[in-house]
């Protein structure tokens, strides 16, 4: 349709994409066989009978934790640098086909080091894919190192220090830090020290907040961890004062519509605060989160928002410009994207 073409042609940036969440069931089964990684026995969890039964299971997540169970099993098939490179290159290929020009992607080093895959193996593969995507499609990208909030602050710091010693924050290999995994019960202030170190070192900071957790997770991420972005942030609607502050401070909120529906944070896209954010001047971007698990890549998420809210082209330009402005690429690249 003409509208679909308009959304395709908008200069899009993706800011909320877990690279491990772009692993499709078919690639998951292929890599499990190739790398001899055992999957759960189908007699215990019939979802693991075939790629199709797994895909079907992904339509029935009941919560963030229910999804995370499958997410961590899925990524266990990723072993070599080549696995990470092909995963990321396939994601960039799809993002480019969707009309994305720039992508800032999360990765979860702890989920790999704790099963014997080194930090360097992961980053080498991802970096190689980034370089190929820029050369082949002109797609620019950044890496954001995420800490798993269900693990200790000490463990987060070990991984942070690893990246620091390798010079990854100063040589541009990694642009910033993030915080993901189970939200409720794992508030942002647990990680206050590693966030303080990052701020002192001039490293960019974001955190998942207000996805399943209430709006206090958002204010604590801002006040205690001093994050520059909020990932998800849909619970902002429950705190008018906080919402107005986020608008005033131009904090980017990275929304993931299809994710929020699949994880039952809302029952339909229409319930998301898109209209509210536009009216109140909250800067936000629209993203795919874990596209292989949630039923759509970035353009699918743009289209879902359009179907739910029927925005004008002017409003879409405003969203796209806010997303470019909130990106962590260099200023010169932002000018090219506009």
Q: Does the annotation flag 69 for ligand binding?
A: no
Residues 6+ apart with CB under 8 A from 153: 190, 191, 193, 194
Is 189 tagged catalytic?
Answer: no
Subset of residues 48 to 77 that bind ligand ES4, contact rule: CB under 6 A: 64, 71
**What count of residues does the chain have?**
338
* Strand order through the sheet with 100-107: 12-14, 100-107, 140-148, 176-180, 204-209, 229-232, 252-255, 284-286
Minimum CB–partner distance for residue 208 and ligand ES4 (Å): 5
d(CA 209, CA 196): 18
Minimum CB–partner distance for residue 36 and Zn ion (Å): 30
Minimum CB–partner distance for residue 68 and ligand ES4 (Å): 7
Q: Does the annotation flag 16 for ligand binding?
A: yes
Quickly tell me which residue has 């609607």 as its tokens.
237
Q: Does 15 bind ligand ES4 (CB under 6 A)?
A: no
SS3 37: coil
Q: Which CB atom, from 20 or from 289, has the smaller least distance to Zn ion? A: 289
Catalytic-role residue among 14, 85, 211, 212: 211
Q: Which CB atom, from 181 or from 324, has the smaller least distance to ligand ES4? A: 181
DSSP code for 38 = P
Q: Does 104 bind Zn ion (CB under 5 A)?
A: no
**Contact letters (x/-) for ligand ES4, 146-185, by CB under 6 A?**
----------------------------------xx----
Q: Does 219 bind ligand ES4 (CB under 6 A)?
A: no
d(CA 54, CA 46): 8
With contact defined as beta carbons under 8 Å apart, do 256 and 289 qualify?
A: yes
Exposure string for 53-88, b = 16+ CB within 10 A, e = fewer: ebbebbeebeebeebbebbbbbbbbbbebebbbbbb
Q: Does 188 bind ligand ES4 (CB under 6 A)?
A: no
- Nearest residue to Zn ion, by Cβ distance, number only: 289
With contact defined as beta carbons under 8 Å apart, do 226 and 205 qualify?
A: yes
Q: Does 289 bind ligand ES4 (CB under 6 A)?
A: yes
With contact defined as beta carbons under 8 Å apart, do 103 and 141 qualify?
A: yes
Quickly tell me which residue has 């131009």 as its tokens.
250
Minimum CB–partner distance for residue 6 and Zn ion (Å): 27
Q: Does 21 bind ligand ES4 (CB under 6 A)?
A: yes
Can you read off the two tokens belonging to residue 128? 């190689």
Q: Which stretch binds Zn ion (CB under 5 A): 24-32, 52-60, 134-142, 281-289?
A: 281-289
Q: Does 212 bind Zn ion (CB under 5 A)?
A: no
Residues that bind Zn ion (CB under 5 A): 289
**Residues labelled catalytic:** 211
Residues that bind ligand ES4 (CB under 6 A): 18, 21, 64, 71, 180-181, 208, 211, 259, 289-290
Binding positions for Zn(2+): 16, 18, 208, 289
Binding positions: 16, 18, 208, 289-290
């Amino acid at each position: 349709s003409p509208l679909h073409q308009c959304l395709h042609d908008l200069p899009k940036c993706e800011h909320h994409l877990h690279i491990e969440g772009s692993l499709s069931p078919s690639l998951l089964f292929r890599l499990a066989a190739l790398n001899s990684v055992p999957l759960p026995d189908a007699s215990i969890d019939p979802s693991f009978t075939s790629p199709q039964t797994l895909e079907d299971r992904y339509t029935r997540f009941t919560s963030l934790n229910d999804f995370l169970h499958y997410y961590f099993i899925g990524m266990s098939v990723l072993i070599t640098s080549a696995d990470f490179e092909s995963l990321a290159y396939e994601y960039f290929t799809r993002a480019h086909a969707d009309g994305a020009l720039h992508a800032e992607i999360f990765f979860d080093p702890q989920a790999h080091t704790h099963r014997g895959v080194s930090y360097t193996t992961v980053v080498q593969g991802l970096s190689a894919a980034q370089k190929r995507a820029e050369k082949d499609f002109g797609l620019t990208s950044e890496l954001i190192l995420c800490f798993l909030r269900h693990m200790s602050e000490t463990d987060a710091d070990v991984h942070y220090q690893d990246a620091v010693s390798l010079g990854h924050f100063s040589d541009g290999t990694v642009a910033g830090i993030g915080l993901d995994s189970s939200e409720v019960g794992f508030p942002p202030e647990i990680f206050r020290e590693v966030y303080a170190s990052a701020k002192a070192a001039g490293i960019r900071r974001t955190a998942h907040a207000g996805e399943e957790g209430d709006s206090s997770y958002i204010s604590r991420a801002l006040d205690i961890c001093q994050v520059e972005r909020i990932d998800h942030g849909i619970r902002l609607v429950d705190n008018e004062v906080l919402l107005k502050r986020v608008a005033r401070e131009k904090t980017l909120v990275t929304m993931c519509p299809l994710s929020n529906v699949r994880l039952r944070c809302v029952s339909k896209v229409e319930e998301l605060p898109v209209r509210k954010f536009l009216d109140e001047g909250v800067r936000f971007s629209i993203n795919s989160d874990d596209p292989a698990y949630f039923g759509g890549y970035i353009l699918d998420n743009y289209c879902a928002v359009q179907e739910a809210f029927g925005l004008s082209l002017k409003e879409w330009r405003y969203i796209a410009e806010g997303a470019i402005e909130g990106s962590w690429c260099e200023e010169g690249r932002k000018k090219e994207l506009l």
